[in-house]
């Protein structure tokens, strides 16, 4: 059984059909690229998977359970994490604070919460997550605003890992990064895969897609027009799918 299965997923906004029967699956521990031109339906589809939008038709299941009618918080608890292109980090806060931003653990006495933030636990757990990823961040005390683009991606991924996800969706994680930074982010994606976490990679950078993805799903005008093993296709063919030349 696939980890994530989409069957004939549709989404309409009035008379506009943003998604037209999207069907594909994501296996546990696999990396699947989602490619397509602007307006192909990628963002709408991700919002349906994460619960921001309710599909107008079709079903979405995660580990055999339907999630297409659940709220975003419930879907997140079931193991779906989305890392947006803007990363949603607080640059004035340090790495540890960002990893636990909005869900800081509190201290307890005799099992009762005291309401005070447990800073020691935050630092300890944040360091463990950074080590688990093998990320190039010298200290969890560094301010995020002082980090490079690739290091900020590391922080966003580490934050996602604290939710123990089964699936991580990454939106253009290598956009505007230098080559060395891109290589680091791609290695982080491989590390997620090694840990058995599935990844959906949304990217316009086909070199990155071919470097880390097992399969490539191409959307055009709200439809899946190709779903191919990376090893069985070429960059030229994928470009042809995207622009509608096939």
At 117 the pLDDT is: 84
- Mean pLDDT over the full length of the chain: 93
User: 60-64, 132-136, 238-242 — which is least confidently predicted?
Assistant: 132-136
* Residue pLDDT, tens place only, 165-214: 999 999 999 987 888 899 999 999 999 999 999 999 999 999 999 999 99
At 85 the pLDDT is: 87
Show the domains of the chain with their CATH numbers: 1-79+166-246 (3.40.50.300), 89-164 (no CATH)
Beta-carbon-side half-sphere exposure of residue 113 (alpha carbons within 13 Å): 7
| Cα distance between residue 44 and residue 46, in whole Å | 6
CA angle 220, 224, 227 (to 5 degrees): 120
Answer yes or no: are the C-beta atoms of 146 and 172 closer than 8 Å: no
At 110 the pLDDT is: 59
Report whether pLDDT(244) > 80: yes
User: 10-19, 81-90, 188-197 — which is least confidently predicted?
Assistant: 81-90
| Cα distance between residue 59 and residue 8, in whole Å | 7
The 10 Å CB-count burial string (b at 16+, else e) for 212-236 is bbbbbbbbbebbbbbebebeebeee
Kindly give the pairing relationship between strand 167-171 and strand 80-83.
Answer: parallel
**104 compared with 133, residue with greater pLDDT:** 133
Report whether pLDDT(114) > 80: no
Grade residue 82 by pLDDT with cuts at 50, 70 and 90.
very high
Contacts of 165 (CB under 8 A, 6+ apart): 79, 80, 81, 197
| Token duo for residue 160 | 């996602």
Counting DSSP H helices and E strands in the chain, the numbers are 8, 12
For residue 157, give the nearest of 183, 185, 181 by alpha carbon. 185
At 106 the pLDDT is: 80
Grade residue 3 by pLDDT with cuts at 50, 70 and 90.
very high
Report whether pLDDT(115) > 90: no
With a pLDDT cut of 70, the percent of the chain lying above it is 96
At 79 the pLDDT is: 96
The 10 Å CB-count burial string (b at 16+, else e) for 22-58 is bebbbeebbbbbbbbbeebbbbbbbbbbbbebebeeb
Q: Which residues on neighbouring strands pair with residue 226, listed in sequence order?
A: 218
User: 26-35, 52-61, 145-154 — which is least confidently predicted?
Assistant: 145-154
Which DSSP category does 164 fall into? -
Which DSSP category does 69 fall into? T
**1 compared with 81, residue with greater pLDDT:** 81
At 199 the pLDDT is: 98
pTM here is 0.92
């Amino acid at each position: 059984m696939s980890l994530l299965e989409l069957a004939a997923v549709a989404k309409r906004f009035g008379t506009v059909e943003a998604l037209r029967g999207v069907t594909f699956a994501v296996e546990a521990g696999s990396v699947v690229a989602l490619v397509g031109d602007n307006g192909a339906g990628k963002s709408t589809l991700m919002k349906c998977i994460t619960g921001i939008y309710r599909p107008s038709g079709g079903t979405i299941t995660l580990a055999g359970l339907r999630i297409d009618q659940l709220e975003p918080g419930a879907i997140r608890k079931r193991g779906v994490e989305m890392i947006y292109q803007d990363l949603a980090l607080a640059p004035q806060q340090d790495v540890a604070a960002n990893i636990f931003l909005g869900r800081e653990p509190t201290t307890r006495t005799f099992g009762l919460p005291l309401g005070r933030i447990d800073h020691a636990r935050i630092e300890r757990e944040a360091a463990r997550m950074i080590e688990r990823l093998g990320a190039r961040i010298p200290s969890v005390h560094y301010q995020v605003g002082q980090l490079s683009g690739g290091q900020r991606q590391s922080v966003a991924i580490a934050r996602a890992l604290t939710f123990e996800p089964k699936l991580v969706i990454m939106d253009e994680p290598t956009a505007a990064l230098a080559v060395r930074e891109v290589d680091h982010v791609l290695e982080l994606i491989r590390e997620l895969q090694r840990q058995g976490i599935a990844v959906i990679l949304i990217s316009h950078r086909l070199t990155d897609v071919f470097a880390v993805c097992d399969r490539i799903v191409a959307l055009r005008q709200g439809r899946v027009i190709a779903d191919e093993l990376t090893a069985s296709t070429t960059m030229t063919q994928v470009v042809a799918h995207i622009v509608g030349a096939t």
